[in-house]
Chains A and B, each alone.
Chain A
Amino acid sequence: ILNVEQSPQSLHVQEGDSTNFTCSFPSSNFYALHWYRWETAKSPEALFVMTLNGDEKKKGRISATLNTKEGYSYLYIKGSQPEDSATYLCAFILTGGGNKLTFGTGTQLKVEL
Protein backbone atom coordinates (compact mmCIF):
# COMPACT_ATOMS: atom_id res chain seq x y z
CA ILE A 1 0.00 0.00 0.00
CA LEU A 2 1.39 3.36 -1.01
CA ASN A 3 0.65 6.09 1.48
CA VAL A 4 1.39 9.73 2.00
CA GLU A 5 2.20 10.94 5.49
CA GLN A 6 1.76 14.47 6.74
CA SER A 7 3.17 16.02 9.85
CA PRO A 8 2.34 17.45 12.21
CA GLN A 9 -1.29 16.34 12.47
CA SER A 10 -2.24 19.69 13.97
CA LEU A 11 -0.60 22.96 14.76
CA HIS A 12 -1.56 26.02 16.80
CA VAL A 13 0.41 29.19 16.09
CA GLN A 14 0.08 32.86 16.90
CA GLU A 15 -0.75 35.49 14.32
CA GLY A 16 2.47 36.59 12.63
CA ASP A 17 4.32 33.31 13.21
CA SER A 18 5.82 31.50 10.26
CA THR A 19 5.22 27.80 10.04
CA ASN A 20 5.87 24.78 7.86
CA PHE A 21 4.44 21.32 7.31
CA THR A 22 5.88 18.16 5.83
CA CYS A 23 4.45 15.74 3.31
CA SER A 24 6.25 12.39 2.74
CA PHE A 25 5.36 10.26 -0.26
CA PRO A 26 6.75 7.26 -2.18
CA SER A 27 9.68 8.37 -4.34
CA SER A 28 9.39 5.49 -6.81
CA ASN A 29 7.32 6.12 -9.93
CA PHE A 30 6.55 9.65 -8.80
CA TYR A 31 4.58 11.82 -11.19
CA ALA A 32 3.15 14.82 -9.35
CA LEU A 33 2.50 16.27 -5.91
CA HIS A 34 -0.52 18.46 -5.12
CA TRP A 35 -1.18 20.74 -2.16
CA TYR A 36 -4.73 21.71 -1.20
CA ARG A 37 -6.20 24.02 1.42
CA TRP A 38 -9.45 22.85 3.01
CA GLU A 39 -11.46 25.17 5.22
CA THR A 40 -14.22 23.81 7.41
CA ALA A 41 -17.58 23.50 5.64
CA LYS A 42 -15.99 24.29 2.28
CA SER A 43 -14.40 22.18 -0.45
CA PRO A 44 -10.66 21.65 -1.00
CA GLU A 45 -8.96 24.47 -2.88
CA ALA A 46 -5.90 23.83 -5.04
CA LEU A 47 -2.70 25.58 -3.95
CA PHE A 48 0.11 24.02 -5.97
CA VAL A 49 0.89 21.23 -8.40
CA MET A 50 4.56 20.27 -8.56
CA THR A 51 6.24 17.71 -10.76
CA LEU A 52 9.98 18.41 -10.97
CA ASN A 53 12.62 17.69 -8.36
CA GLY A 54 13.69 20.98 -6.81
CA ASP A 55 10.45 22.75 -7.80
CA GLU A 56 9.57 25.74 -5.68
CA LYS A 57 6.21 27.45 -5.97
CA LYS A 58 4.82 30.53 -4.27
CA LYS A 59 1.37 32.08 -3.89
CA GLY A 60 1.35 35.15 -1.68
CA ARG A 61 2.62 34.18 1.76
CA ILE A 62 2.47 30.47 1.01
CA SER A 63 5.26 28.56 -0.71
CA ALA A 64 6.16 24.92 -1.31
CA THR A 65 9.24 22.90 -2.22
CA LEU A 66 9.60 19.44 -3.67
CA ASN A 67 12.27 16.73 -3.32
CA THR A 68 11.28 13.76 -5.46
CA LYS A 69 14.50 11.81 -4.85
CA GLU A 70 13.87 11.52 -1.12
CA GLY A 71 10.09 11.77 -1.33
CA TYR A 72 9.11 14.86 0.60
CA SER A 73 7.57 18.28 0.15
CA TYR A 74 7.43 21.23 2.51
CA LEU A 75 4.68 23.84 2.69
CA TYR A 76 5.63 27.17 4.29
CA ILE A 77 3.35 29.93 5.50
CA LYS A 78 5.04 33.24 6.29
CA GLY A 79 3.41 35.58 8.81
CA SER A 80 0.37 33.40 9.53
CA GLN A 81 -3.01 35.12 9.67
CA PRO A 82 -6.28 33.85 11.23
CA GLU A 83 -7.69 33.36 7.71
CA ASP A 84 -4.92 30.79 7.09
CA SER A 85 -6.65 28.48 9.58
CA ALA A 86 -7.55 25.37 7.58
CA THR A 87 -6.48 21.80 6.92
CA TYR A 88 -3.63 21.55 4.43
CA LEU A 89 -3.68 18.37 2.36
CA CYS A 90 -1.03 16.94 0.12
CA ALA A 91 -1.64 14.24 -2.47
CA PHE A 92 0.59 12.39 -4.90
CA ILE A 93 0.16 10.84 -8.32
CA LEU A 94 2.24 7.93 -9.59
CA THR A 95 3.23 7.41 -13.22
CA GLY A 96 0.76 5.26 -15.09
CA GLY A 97 -1.97 5.96 -12.56
CA GLY A 98 -4.04 8.35 -14.63
CA ASN A 99 -4.69 11.31 -12.39
CA LYS A 100 -5.45 9.26 -9.29
CA LEU A 101 -4.64 11.40 -6.27
CA THR A 102 -3.74 9.64 -3.04
CA PHE A 103 -4.36 12.09 -0.21
CA GLY A 104 -2.74 12.39 3.18
CA THR A 105 -4.90 13.06 6.22
CA GLY A 106 -3.70 16.64 6.37
CA THR A 107 -2.22 19.11 8.82
CA GLN A 108 -4.82 21.13 10.69
CA LEU A 109 -3.59 24.67 11.26
CA LYS A 110 -5.16 27.04 13.76
CA VAL A 111 -3.87 30.62 13.82
CA GLU A 112 -4.78 32.53 16.95
CA LEU A 113 -4.84 36.26 17.55
Chain B
Amino acid sequence: DSGVTQTPKHLITATGQRVTLRCSPRSGDLSVYWYQQSLDQGLQFLIQYYNGEERAKGNILERFSAQQFPDLHSELNLSSLELGDSALYFCASSAGQTSYEQYFGPGTRLTVT
Protein backbone atom coordinates (compact mmCIF):
# COMPACT_ATOMS: atom_id res chain seq x y z
CA ASP B 1 0.00 0.00 0.00
CA SER B 2 1.62 3.23 -1.23
CA GLY B 3 -0.54 5.53 0.91
CA VAL B 4 -2.07 7.16 -2.18
CA THR B 5 -5.81 6.63 -2.51
CA GLN B 6 -7.95 6.96 -5.60
CA THR B 7 -11.69 6.84 -6.03
CA PRO B 8 -13.61 5.38 -7.63
CA LYS B 9 -11.86 2.13 -8.46
CA HIS B 10 -14.02 1.51 -11.53
CA LEU B 11 -16.20 3.82 -13.56
CA ILE B 12 -18.43 2.97 -16.49
CA THR B 13 -20.06 5.81 -18.36
CA ALA B 14 -21.39 6.74 -21.78
CA THR B 15 -19.86 8.84 -24.53
CA GLY B 16 -20.42 12.55 -24.10
CA GLN B 17 -20.59 12.37 -20.33
CA ARG B 18 -18.34 14.02 -17.73
CA VAL B 19 -16.63 12.29 -14.83
CA THR B 20 -14.42 13.30 -11.91
CA LEU B 21 -11.61 11.15 -10.58
CA ARG B 22 -10.31 11.84 -7.12
CA CYS B 23 -6.88 11.36 -5.58
CA SER B 24 -5.54 11.80 -2.06
CA PRO B 25 -1.74 11.92 -1.84
CA ARG B 26 0.42 10.33 0.83
CA SER B 27 0.50 12.25 4.05
CA GLY B 28 3.00 15.09 3.73
CA ASP B 29 3.42 14.87 -0.05
CA LEU B 30 2.91 18.17 -1.84
CA SER B 31 3.11 17.03 -5.47
CA VAL B 32 0.36 15.16 -7.28
CA TYR B 33 0.65 13.69 -10.78
CA TRP B 34 -1.89 12.19 -13.13
CA TYR B 35 -1.09 9.49 -15.68
CA GLN B 36 -3.12 7.68 -18.30
CA GLN B 37 -2.49 4.13 -19.40
CA SER B 38 -4.38 3.04 -22.49
CA LEU B 39 -4.37 -0.49 -23.90
CA ASP B 40 -2.04 0.31 -26.74
CA GLN B 41 0.24 2.76 -24.94
CA GLY B 42 2.51 2.93 -21.94
CA LEU B 43 2.06 5.29 -19.03
CA GLN B 44 1.47 8.81 -20.33
CA PHE B 45 2.03 11.81 -18.11
CA LEU B 46 -0.93 14.18 -18.03
CA ILE B 47 -0.27 16.89 -15.44
CA GLN B 48 1.53 17.73 -12.19
CA TYR B 49 0.46 19.98 -9.32
CA TYR B 50 2.67 21.14 -6.50
CA ASN B 51 1.10 22.67 -3.41
CA GLY B 52 -1.95 23.77 -5.34
CA GLU B 53 -0.22 25.13 -8.44
CA GLU B 54 0.19 23.54 -11.84
CA ARG B 55 3.87 22.65 -12.37
CA ALA B 56 4.14 20.57 -15.52
CA LYS B 57 1.82 19.58 -18.30
CA GLY B 58 1.97 16.64 -20.66
CA ASN B 59 -0.26 15.70 -23.56
CA ILE B 60 -3.45 16.43 -21.68
CA LEU B 61 -6.49 16.97 -23.87
CA GLU B 62 -8.39 20.25 -23.64
CA ARG B 63 -11.45 18.23 -22.58
CA PHE B 64 -9.52 17.21 -19.46
CA SER B 65 -8.74 19.46 -16.53
CA ALA B 66 -7.36 19.01 -13.06
CA GLN B 67 -6.89 20.90 -9.85
CA GLN B 68 -5.28 20.47 -6.47
CA PHE B 69 -7.18 21.73 -3.46
CA PRO B 70 -5.85 23.38 -0.25
CA ASP B 71 -6.01 20.02 1.55
CA LEU B 72 -3.75 18.72 -1.29
CA HIS B 73 -6.21 16.23 -2.73
CA SER B 74 -6.59 16.44 -6.47
CA GLU B 75 -9.36 15.88 -8.98
CA LEU B 76 -9.12 15.05 -12.66
CA ASN B 77 -12.15 16.08 -14.66
CA LEU B 78 -12.81 14.40 -17.98
CA SER B 79 -15.58 15.82 -20.15
CA SER B 80 -17.24 15.06 -23.50
CA LEU B 81 -15.97 11.54 -23.08
CA GLU B 82 -15.06 9.48 -26.12
CA LEU B 83 -14.53 5.74 -26.49
CA GLY B 84 -10.79 6.37 -26.74
CA ASP B 85 -10.72 7.84 -23.26
CA SER B 86 -11.22 4.38 -21.82
CA ALA B 87 -8.06 3.74 -19.84
CA LEU B 88 -6.52 3.23 -16.44
CA TYR B 89 -5.88 6.58 -14.75
CA PHE B 90 -3.21 6.66 -12.09
CA CYS B 91 -2.50 9.32 -9.57
CA ALA B 92 0.93 9.53 -7.94
CA SER B 93 2.42 11.75 -5.27
CA SER B 94 5.87 12.81 -4.16
CA ALA B 95 7.33 14.91 -1.41
CA GLY B 96 8.89 17.59 -3.57
CA GLN B 97 8.78 19.00 -7.06
CA THR B 98 11.58 17.10 -8.76
CA SER B 99 13.75 14.00 -8.48
CA TYR B 100 11.76 12.39 -5.69
CA GLU B 101 10.25 8.93 -5.99
CA GLN B 102 6.65 8.99 -7.05
CA TYR B 103 4.19 6.78 -5.17
CA PHE B 104 1.35 5.49 -7.28
CA GLY B 105 -2.24 4.93 -6.24
CA PRO B 106 -4.22 1.85 -7.26
CA GLY B 107 -5.72 3.58 -10.30
CA THR B 108 -9.23 4.22 -11.61
CA ARG B 109 -10.38 2.05 -14.48
CA LEU B 110 -12.58 4.17 -16.77
CA THR B 111 -14.72 2.46 -19.38
CA VAL B 112 -16.59 4.64 -21.86
CA THR B 113 -19.36 2.83 -23.75
B94–A99 touching, CB < 8 Å: yes
Chain B residues, Cβ within 8 Å of A106: 42
Shortest CB–CB separation between residue B5 and chain A, in angstroms? Answer: 11
Chain B residues whose C-beta falls within 8 Å of the C-beta of A86 in the assembled complex:
none
Interface residues on B, range: 20 to 34
CB contacts under 8 Å to B, within A68-113, are 89, 91, 93, 97-106
Whether A99 pairs with B56 at a CB distance below 8 angstroms is: yes
Asked if B102 is at the interface (CB within 8 A of a chain A CB), the reply is yes
Give Cα A107 to B3, complex, Å: 26
User: Are A49 and B100 in touch, CB under 8 angstroms?
Assistant: yes
A98 surroundings in chain B (CB, below 8 A): 48, 50, 55-56, 97-98
Judged by DSSP, the binding face of B is strand
CB of B25 within 8 Å of the partner chain: no
Q: Are B99 and A32 in contact (CB under 8 A)?
A: yes
Chain A residues with Cβ below 8 Å from B33 are 99, 101
- Nearest Cβ on chain A to B68's Cβ, whole angstroms: 13
B74 interface residue, CB < 8 Å from A? no
Question: Given A100-B56, A105-B42, is A43 in contact with B99 using a C-beta cutoff of 8 Å?
Answer: no
B14 interfacial by beta-carbon distance below 8 Å: no
User: Measured between alpha carbons, how far is A54 from B33 in the docked complex, in Å?
Assistant: 28
Tell whether B43 is near chain A: CB-to-CB under 8 Å: yes
Query: A46-B103, A100-B48 provided; 10 other pairs, C-beta below 8 A?
Result: A31-B98, A32-B99, A34-B101, A89-B42, A93-B98, A93-B99, A97-B56, A99-B56, A99-B102, A103-B45
Q: Which 7 A-B pairs have the closest CB atoms?
A: A98-B56, A46-B101, A43-B104, A100-B56, A98-B55, A103-B43, A105-B42
